[in-house]
């Protein structure tokens, strides 16, 4: 594999940042088209999924009333009728995570295929790199919304309790056809995660790396560290920053950076915080803290609580202190 050095300056990055910077513009080359179309079909749904999650209000009140009045059948029915469509929504989100996982897989395959080095891939396949960034952006946005919405787990556990109670009474519920027991088990594992989408992606990346024995693990982690570097340099370089026409683009860049760091930390044997890490964690954390955005704290929390190696002995005191 032809390894080129990881970019450190604005000039190094010039060839590959164009597309990442322009959120709404990324034309695939002919060689990228097949994968691009596949991923594009998934990404087209992402916006709708986020909107649905954002407006997810839950059936907290109906559930409370039903629980407080166990003898009132009308209230039981009301809660059940409120919860069922919500569970159908949760199933849609979960199924979407499986499609996202497949999309990520195709992108990883394309962006790590020999003989090119990560930087060359990012230059040659800018539209795919951009889609990868879009996936991470979606993922962090989804998890942020999920984390701040306790109704999701509340609704889902009420649903499961009701189903098992009725099963004990030998009552078959119609809704079981939609979410059968096996599906409910899988969904429940998914929603039990603090950051379910990110966990899905990091599991998928780990799986990708372990299944492709012929592909050195560095090919995948170098792709991630290079993307982290691209984002960091874009955020800390005034020449780029002044081109961020709105905070939306800045937030995009911040989320992508945090997303690739977390993936790297899950996939790389010693993780992102070690001295040997190819990600400049100090620089990344500093540049995050410098951003005038109220999403910074959430992103720092993602680094604090969803990485694997932060608390390892190999993490420097300085990095720990920065995240405290």
Ligand X SMILES: *[C@@H]1O[C@H](CO)[C@@H](O)[C@H](O)[C@H]1NC(C)=O
Residues that bind ligand X (CB under 6 A): 109, 112-113, 189-190, 193, 196, 199-200, 203, 211-212, 214-215
- Measured distance CA(94)–CA(186) in Å, rounded: 9
Shortest distance (Å) from residue 213 CB to ligand X: 9
Distance CA 14, CA 16 (A): 6
| Residue 46 or 288 having the CB closest to ligand X | 46
The nearest distance, CB 68 to ligand X, in angstroms, is: 33
Q: Which one, of 297, 259, 30, 279, lies nearest residue 135 by Cα?
A: 259
CB of 272 to ligand X, least distance (A): 18
User: Residue 315 CA to chain centroid, in angstroms?
Assistant: 24
Smallest gap from Cβ 202 to ligand X, in A, equals: 8
User: What is the distance between the alpha carbons of residues 160 and 87, in angstroms, rounded to a whole number?
Assistant: 10
Specify the residue, 182 or 211, whose C-beta has the smaller distance to ligand X.
Answer: 211
- Asked if residues 231 and 250 have their Cβ atoms less than 8 Å apart, the reply is no
Nearest residue (CB) to ligand X, 212 versus 237: 212
109 closest CA partner among 132, 130, 140: 132
Shortest distance in whole angstroms from residue 220 CB to ligand X: 9
Q: Which two tokens mark 23? A: 């959120």
DSSP annotation string for 198-259: HHHHHHHHHHHHHH-TTS-HHHHHHHHHHHHHHHHHHHH-HHHHTT--SHHHHHHHHHHHHH
d(CA 161, CA 166): 9
Dig out the tokens for 294 from the structure.
């109220």
Provide, rounded to whole angstroms, the least separation between the CB of residue 205 and ligand X. Answer: 11
Query: Minimum distance between the CB of residue 258 and ligand X, rounded to whole angstroms?
Result: 18
Report the residue number, 121 or 137, with the smaller CB distance to ligand X: 121
At a CB cut-off of 8 Å and minimum separation 6, what does 318 contact?
A: 282
Nearer to ligand X among residue 130 and residue 199 (C-beta): 199
User: For residue 109, how far is the Cα from the chain centroid?
Assistant: 18
* Closer of 52 and 193 to ligand X (Cβ): 193
Pick 158 or 208: Cβ nearer ligand X? 208
Instruction: Report d(CA 2, CA 204) in Å as an integer.
Output: 26
Shortest distance (Å) from residue 315 CB to ligand X = 23
Please state, as a whole number, how many other Cβ atoms lie within 10 Å of the Cβ of residue 68. 9
- Residue 215 or 296: the one with the smaller Cβ distance to ligand X is 215
Distance in angstroms (rounded) separating the CA atoms of residues 101 and 177? 25
């Amino acid at each position: 594999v032809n390894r080129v050095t990881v970019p450190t300056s604005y000039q190094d990055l010039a060839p590959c940042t164009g597309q990442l910077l322009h959120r709404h513009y990324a034309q695939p080359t002919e060689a990228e088209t097949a994968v691009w179309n596949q991923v594009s079909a998934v990404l087209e749904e992402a916006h709708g999924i986020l909107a649905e999650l954002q407006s997810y209000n839950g059936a907290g009140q109906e559930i409370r009333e039903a629980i407080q009045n166990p003898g009132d059948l009308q209230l039981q029915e009301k809660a059940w009728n409120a919860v069922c469509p919500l569970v159908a929504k949760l199933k849609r989100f979960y199924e979407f995570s499986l499609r996202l996982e497949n999309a990520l897989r195709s992108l990883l395959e394309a962006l790590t295929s020999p003989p090119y080095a990560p930087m060359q891939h990012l230059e040659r396949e800018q539209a795919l790199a951009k889609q990868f960034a879009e996936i991470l952006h979606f993922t962090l946005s989804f998890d942020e919304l999920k984390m701040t919405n306790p109704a999701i787990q509340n609704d889902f556990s009420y649903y499961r309790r009701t189903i098992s109670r009725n099963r004990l009474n030998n009552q078959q519920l119609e809704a079981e056809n939609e979410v059968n027991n096996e599906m409910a088990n899988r969904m429940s594992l998914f929603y039990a995660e603090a950051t379910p989408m990110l966990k899905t992606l990091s599991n998928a990346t780990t799986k990708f790396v372990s299944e492709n024995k012929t592909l050195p693990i560095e090919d995948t982690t170098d792709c991630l560290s290079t993307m982290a570097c691209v984002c960091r340099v874009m955020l800390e370089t005034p020449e780029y920053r002044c081109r961020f026409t709105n905070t939306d683009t800045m937030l995009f860049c911040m989320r992508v950076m945090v997303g690739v760091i977390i993936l790297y930390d899950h996939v790389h044997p010693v993780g992102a915080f070690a001295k040997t890490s190819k990600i400049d964690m100090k620089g990344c954390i500093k540049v995050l803290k410098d951003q005038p955005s109220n999403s910074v704290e959430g992103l720092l929390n993602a680094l604090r609580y969803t990485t694997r190696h932060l608390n390892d002995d190999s993490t420097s005191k300085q990095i720990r202190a920065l995240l405290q």
